[in-house]
Each structure stands twice: as structure tokens, then as C-alpha cells.
Amino acid sequence: MPKIKVIHGPNLNLLGKRETMVYGTGSLAEIDSAMKELADQLGLEISAMQTNSEADIIDAIHKTDYDLLIINPAAYTHTSIAIRDAIAAVSKPVIEVHLSNIHKREEFRRHSFIAEVAVGQISGFGPGSYMLALRAARKILMDREPQKKP
């Protein structure tokens, strides 16, 4: 079964309590359990982690025990060349996810260092962004499977 690693970046442990007008009232645990349910349906193995540390995110990217990475780098999206370089270094497919639409918020959120090393970015659908990312992950992984001879 293809393995998906999910990394939730800084402050996302406070989902449900933090800026609820922007990020909603659902918790990170709720997102993780909805993702697990959908992953089961899609035939994907999933493991999720949250950390507030840039170094831990980089170490998790380097540990290539996954076929595809779904990452919400949170504020590091807009600042971290180190996370961008870690993704470039391992050459695994990556989907960048954001709960809010970063393109209709403050100017400083509009630039992502991650976007140019990701397959794509999903932004603005609340917890649904993660579900869309899982469906995209399945498609990416299926398309990569060697074509069977007729």
C-alpha cells in the first residue's frame, strides 16, 4: 500500500482554538481522523505528525519512509528556504496544503517557498484542503505506477 506522510507545521496544534474566524473550530485530531478514514477508503497508508520545529520538519522530510508527502508548513511556507531545500533534496512528490486561502490574505502570505518544489498547492478549503490533497495523492501515485502490458 502506498505510504503518505502528513506534516502539520507550527501552531496547527492549536486548531479549533486559534483564530477561529480564519481556521474554523475543528481540531487537528478531527482532521487527522477524517484523513485516516478517507485514506482507508482510497487504499493509502497514512501517518501524520505535528511539530512547531523547523528542524523536526526537515528531519521528517529527510526520513524517506513515504511515497508522497502532504505538508501544511504553516508560517514556514513564507519563510523557510531550508524546508524548500529539504523537499528538493529528497525528490518525493509533495502536495502543499493550507486551510485558508493564502492568496486572499495579507501580502506576506502570498509567497510560498514551497510551491515551486511541490506538485501542487491546495489552499482555502478548510479541513477539506487535506481531503482534496489525499485524493490528489492517490491520483499522482496511480499515474506513476508502471503501465501494465495489455
Is 23 a catalytic site residue? yes
Q: Residue 28 class from Cβ within 10 Å (0-12 exposed, 13-18 middle, 19+ buried)? A: middle
Q: Please, which of residues 52-81 interact with ligand DQA by CB under 6 A? A: 72, 74-75, 77
Q: Please, which of residues 10-39 interact with ligand DQA by CB under 6 A? A: 11
Taking alpha carbons only, the member of 99, 103, 94 closest to residue 128 is 99
Strand ordering across the sheet containing 120-123: 45-50, 3-8, 68-72, 94-98, 120-123
Least distance CB 146 / ligand DQA (angstroms): 35
Among 28, 64, 100, 132, binds ligand DQA (CB under 6 A): 100
Is 78 a catalytic site residue? no
Q: Please, which of residues 108-127 interact with ligand DQA by CB under 6 A? A: 109
Taking alpha carbons only, the member of 65, 83, 66 closest to residue 74 is 83
CB-based contact 121:98 (threshold 8 Å):
yes
Q: Which of 66, 76, 98, 130 is catalytic?
A: 98
Nearer of residues 31 and 137 to ligand DQA, judged by Cβ: 31
Least distance CB 111 / ligand DQA (angstroms): 10
Active site residues: 23, 98
